[in-house]
Amino acid sequence: MGEKDLEIEETSPPRREDETKTQVGKVKKKKKVKAEKRGVCHVSRVPPRMDHVKLRQVLSQFGEIQRIYLVPEAVAAQMNRKRAGGFRGQAFSEGWVEFTKKSVAKRVANMLNGQQMGGRKRSSFYYDIWNVKYLSKIKWDDVTDEIAQRHAVREQKLALELSAAKRERDFYLTQVDKSRALSSIEERMKKKQKVQQESGVISDFPSDQFAPKVIRQFPQKKPVADQAGKLKPSLSKDVLAGVSSISPIPCCGERGPKNLFVQSIGHRYFAATPEEYANRNYANNESEYTTVINSITAQRKTTKGNITMKRIGYLLEHGVFKKWLTGKGPEDELRKLGLLDCLGIYDHSLAIKVGVHFFLCYNLPELSEPASVFYIKEMRKLMDGHNLEERDWFFGLILQSKIFNPVKRGGKVFLSPDYSQSKEQQRQITLRRIQYLVEHGFSKDWPTIKGPEDELRKLALLDCLFIYDHSLSIKMGVHFLLWGGAIQFFSTKRHHDKWLKDTEDYVVKGCFSMTELGHGSNVRGIETVTTYDSSTGEFVINTPCESAQKYWIGGAANHATHTIVFSQLIIDGGNQGVHAFIAQIRDENGDICPNIRIADCGHKIGLNGVDNGRIWFDNVRVPRENLLNSVVDVSPDGKYLTAIKDPDQRFAAFLSPLTSGRVTITASAVYSAKVSKALFGEYVAVKRSKKPFKGLGLEHMNTSRPVIPSQLTSSTMRQAQFRNDIFCLRERDLLERFAAEVSQCQAQGKSKEYAFTLNYQLAEDLGRAFSDRAVLHTFLDAEASVTSGPLKNVLDLVRSMYVLVTLEEDAAFLRYGYLLMDNAAIVRKEVAKQCSELRPHALSLVSSFGLPDAFLSPIAFNWVEANASSSEQN
């Protein structure tokens, strides 16, 4: 069978063939494979350039394939793809594959679904994902019936559409012909009547015979008429005359106030007379005038010779713009539009200027946000957890100093680093800010604290630091947590007495030299070498190659005076593993010490306040006492002393204190999210994109997703037991899967590390499952301490949202079958429903973050006034 025949066989719809004719014409029954042993898989998406031949080649390695059918792509989609410059060949939308064995079909679906197709990297579908599902209890004949039904439905729909289009076309053509005939008759009769009138003959046909006939009348609004019976304009005469600088009125007297509006055209003056304005008694003390008067007054000062601003000022003084901002009824809106139309007739620039001032003028909409149903302070206490007074003390501390760049915008003071400064300026101001905080007791007793309360205070202040500037928080974290933490936890009393006090006072400025160019997180593989010289009682530190240079070390480029060096310790030719040493890299004058080279890592996209650098050591000698010796020590004669004999356990004990740095990085992400959510919530509460929705508050949050609730499903998903069970099920099942995969790899002779690496995808899913479940249980523990009431109700709603959003976003629930495909859409609808329930509490929840206004930005408040040219900036 040729290639062409094969294509016809596999791409044409499957047909039932129970009998075949022999060459002599006799009918024999075809020998069939037992149907019950066959299995059918459905491929819901076929990648571009994948056809039946390639699909058979890929899947046949798992087992024998009986038949394949791929559905050709729709013609419209194919044309759109070709017009867009995409793949121009035949593409397929879905397909079915029949394996000769049911077990093979099941195995293929379970193994390939959701996995990358792979193959050669140059393959056009290398990065595509398999979408394969085993069709249980489905035979190939069932697929045939389904395809035939689809064809029949499609043809029936097409026939109905064609029939409707034909009827519409015929009706249109009939009406066109009728219209032409009537028009011809009417034209002919008009000519005949005209001839008869000219000749004096009385026509037998009435003149209105061919006038439009009234078939049906609808009641209309009666036009308003004055006493003379004339129709009144939609606006009264006095309103239209309010800006009658536009109507052509001959003026023989004075040419208007200050010649603002009057022009001489052809010996005639066109203007509004002063008397038309003098009779007005509009009060000028209305509240809506305040914003506009201030804005116009400021512009009039800066545009002394601008005639347009003088005209606006004149109209404003005479009450033309009364109630333009506060008017709510239809009459006020009509008055405003009428006056603006008149301005447009006279001068477009004047009308545009007025429209910008009044129609685009910012004023806070009346929010429909109700009063908070819970105590915001109690919610903040639950969120922050501890040390609320210390947090508020820190906020007040940095508001007192100008080195934190306070800027006054729109009557409010905001704190934000000046990112327009150069790299050197940002580094210098970051150093000054650290010195300011240290002088005012921000880091008091940090290196020497031991109790949990002191540690919580430190973490609380670091949380607040993340809100203001990440460069500042990172530079302080390197000094106090990494450098100071290493001395505190890796060393003994001899180091504490010498270094901790100077560390607290920022006399010694430390950095942390662990990362190397060739070794980042692989600490055991670092290449820096330290050899003990027993003759002098010193350690000699060397950088043996370029990949061993200490890289991206925070604080090393400009300010650090000392560093903690991680290197391989060599004693009598034996490598004892990675150890930490104190080394001085700059003297009291800030000059780099001998045998040390330091280079700047340069400009970064963000965090330019941190002076990251690179360090090379060339036979740098440090005293024996500079070895951090909480776990190991070296005697003067070069003996290696340690109580932990196992190298793995010794290494773990050595690095365990460093995990606190990872915790603070996670906390910084949480507080960055708090700031962004606070800005978002406050901004959308005052941002009105369309005037008809004024007063709704967070308008677009109401209509972001359509809600079609399902009462039974909704009540099920709101149960606390359901939320807990689905998380625990995912974690337990993933743990069992991961353990089984690792055990299987180890049974094949592979190491545990290799087995973990090989199953990194399961490990990632398991890690997220554990974190999500831990967060949920932490939430439950905090919620248990709250008594019944509004606060507990809001907490339950927030917890429910967290669970449902996790179900919606994590594909593992569908990938491993914890959530059925049909339920995914129901979860999404429930998310939308609970979003609408949570919306009234949005601003209250944001307020409970405890973020002072100064740590946000003007966009969260009166952003128009803050960006006005008259806004004071310091």
In this model, does residue 283 exceed pLDDT 50?
no
What pLDDT is stored for residue 657 in this prediction?
A: 62
Structure confidence at residue 300 (pLDDT): 47
Amino acid 204: pLDDT: 52
Average pLDDT over residues 149-158: 80
- What pLDDT was estimated at residue 140? 84
> What is the mean predicted confidence (pLDDT) over 696-706?
34
Q: DSSP 3-state assignment of 240?
A: helix
- Lowest mean per-residue pLDDT among 2-11, 144-153, 384-393, 658-667: 2-11
Closest listed residue to residue 303, CA positions, set 337, 349, 252: 349
- For residue 168, count CB atoms less than 10 angstroms from its CB and return exposed for 0-12, middle for 13-18, buried for 19 or more: exposed
Q: Measure CA 559 to chain center.
A: 36
Three-class HEC string of 403-417: HHCEEEECCEEEECC
DSSP conformational letter for 268? E
**Cα separation of 430 and 554, whole Å?**
13
* In 748-809, alpha helices (H): 752-758, 760-784, 790-809
Predicted local confidence at residue 35, as pLDDT:
46
Domains 3-19+33-138 and 427-643 share a fold: no
Question: Is the pLDDT reported for residue 528 higher than 50?
Answer: yes
Question: What span, in angstroms and rounded, lies between the C-alpha atoms of 831 and 709?
Answer: 10
What is residue 360's predicted lDDT score, i.e. its pLDDT? 56
297 Cβ contact list (under 8 Å, min separation 6): none
User: Count of H helices and E strands in the chain?
Assistant: 31, 21
The 3-state DSSP class for residue 180 equals helix
Mean pLDDT score, 295-299? 49
Averaged pLDDT, 577-601 = 94
Taking 90 as the threshold, does the pLDDT of residue 844 lie above it?
A: no
The answer to whether 493 and 531 are in contact (CB under 8 A) is: no
Q: Tens digits of per-residue pLDDT, 754-780? A: 888 888 888 888 888 888 888 888 888
Local confidence band at 379 (pLDDT 50, 70, 90 cut-offs) = confident
Whole-Å CA distances, 339 to 296, 333, 480: 19, 10, 67
In 3D, which of 96, 137, 136, 135 has the Cα closest to residue 13? 96
Residue (of 8, 101, 112) closest to 59 by Cα position: 112
* pLDDT for the residue numbered 17: 41
Mean pLDDT of the chain: 75
Count CB atoms within 10 A of the CB of residue 205: 11
pLDDT of 307 > 80? The answer is no
Lowest-confidence segment of 371-385, 422-436, 616-630, 742-756 by average pLDDT: 371-385
Contact criterion met (CB below 8 Å) for 620 and 541:
yes
Query: Which pLDDT does position 247 carry in this prediction?
Result: 35
Residue whose C-alpha is closest to residue 610's, from 554, 556, 662, 559:
554
Res. 570 pLDDT band, cuts 50 70 90: very high
Contacts for 256 with CB less than 8 Å, ≥ 6 apart = 245, 262, 271, 272, 273, 274
Helices 289-302 and 348-358 sit at what angle, rounded to 10 degrees? 130
Tokens of 92: 């397929």
Q: How confident is the model at residue 256 (pLDDT cuts 50, 70, 90)?
A: very low
Q: Is the pLDDT score of 357 beyond 70?
A: no
Nearest residue to 70 (alpha-carbon basis) of 105, 97, 39: 97
State the architecture of 666-860 in CATH terms. Answer: Up-down Bundle (1.20)
* CATH architecture designation of domain 3-19+33-138: 2-Layer Sandwich (3.30)
Task: Please give the share of the chain, as a percent, with pLDDT higher than 70.
Answer: 73
CA distances to 217, 357, 686, 687, 688 from 695, in Å: 40, 21, 9, 11, 9
How deeply is 553 buried, as exposed, middle or buried, from its count of CB atoms within 10 A (0-12, 13-18, 19+)? buried
Q: What is the CATH number of domain 427-643?
A: 2.40.110.10
Contacts of 109 (CB under 8 A, 6+ apart): 41, 132, 133, 134
Rounded Cα distance between 460 and 389, Å, is 10
Does the structure show a pLDDT above 50 at 668? yes
227: pLDDT strictly greater than 80: no
pLDDT in tens, 96-105: 899 998 889 9
**Tell me, what's the pLDDT at 285?**
35
Q: Which of 334, 350, 308, 472 is nearest to 403 (CA)?
A: 472
- List own/partner pairs for 210-215 with CB under 8 A and 24 or more apart: 210/182, 210/185, 210/186
Tens digit of each residue's pLDDT (9 = 90 or more) over 674-684: 777 676 666 55
Return the domain boundaries, the chain: 3-19+33-138, 151-193, 237-358, 427-643, 666-860
Residue burial 241-266, b: 16+ Cβ < 10 Å; e: rest: bbbbbbeebebeeebbbeebbbeeee
How far is the C-alpha of 570 from the C-alpha of 530, rounded, in Å? 6
Whether pLDDT at 388 is above 90: no
